[in-house]
Structure 1
């Protein structure tokens, strides 16, 4: 397990390395920890930290004693950040192809209402907006005519059920 390196811990590592009888087993790791920049998060092993606390406890006088709980104040468990998985070039190429197709669809949708040729621009010498408006008017007229026929048939059928006389002249 590792703990996040703090300035307090790094100063304790420097103080422990200054002593002559620091164990060689942990000396290399301690030197690495002492030289690490604190700007980027990094860790220190719990075993090394315990050793440093014990070493400082033995080598210091009573007033300058560094307790383990003081040494780890402000730190937390260090979890090394995971490296992002390597990207598959085939998958990236496929994704780029899909993005290009999507951009083409969006572009085609955006320019679909725009007419490009001069012949298509004024069909029947009308602008496209005017043609849509005329289509709307014709539809409205047909709806009114259909409604009138439907009302006539409905009135005729209602009159037929009320009386037998449908209004024809008998000679």
Structure 2
């Protein structure tokens, strides 16, 4: 925030010998402060020539107050003609080397995490391919077990039908009754086998 004013030639002439402020009978202290501010040398390293002419807002307020108390016809805006607000260049402090190193380390960590996040899907696909090849033997065994189960089901139902058909000859004399009884028993056995197969498949799917 600006707190000083870069005085123009109008204010310098007014404060000089024979200037407009000479007849205003400025207090000695205020005049000395203004003359010191207008004749202040520039700081070392400043390439510009001549005095710096920096006047604080506090001195400008004191000058304005004095002119108002004397009911002067000399107005402050006339004295400040050609003057500008002085905004000194902000000198940035040097950065802490430890802080810079820590920020670089954090940037590297964030970059690594971003890389891992981007390549996560590719890694998962590769792992899935490797898992498919490695589990090929397990899948073959599962298919083999399924074929054996179906074969056992057919054999069990057929055996139940044959046994019932042969055994029913001691009960029924007609062929139709014997076949009907064999079908009923084979159906019951088949339903029981299907129930056991479904429960076993549900258990395997649950483990997957």
TM-score (norm 2): 0.35
Structure (1/2) with the larger helix percentage: 2
Query: Larger radius of gyration, structure 1 or 2?
Result: 2
Structure with higher RCO (Cα < 8 A, 6+ apart): 1
Q: TM-score under structure 1 normalisation?
A: 0.40
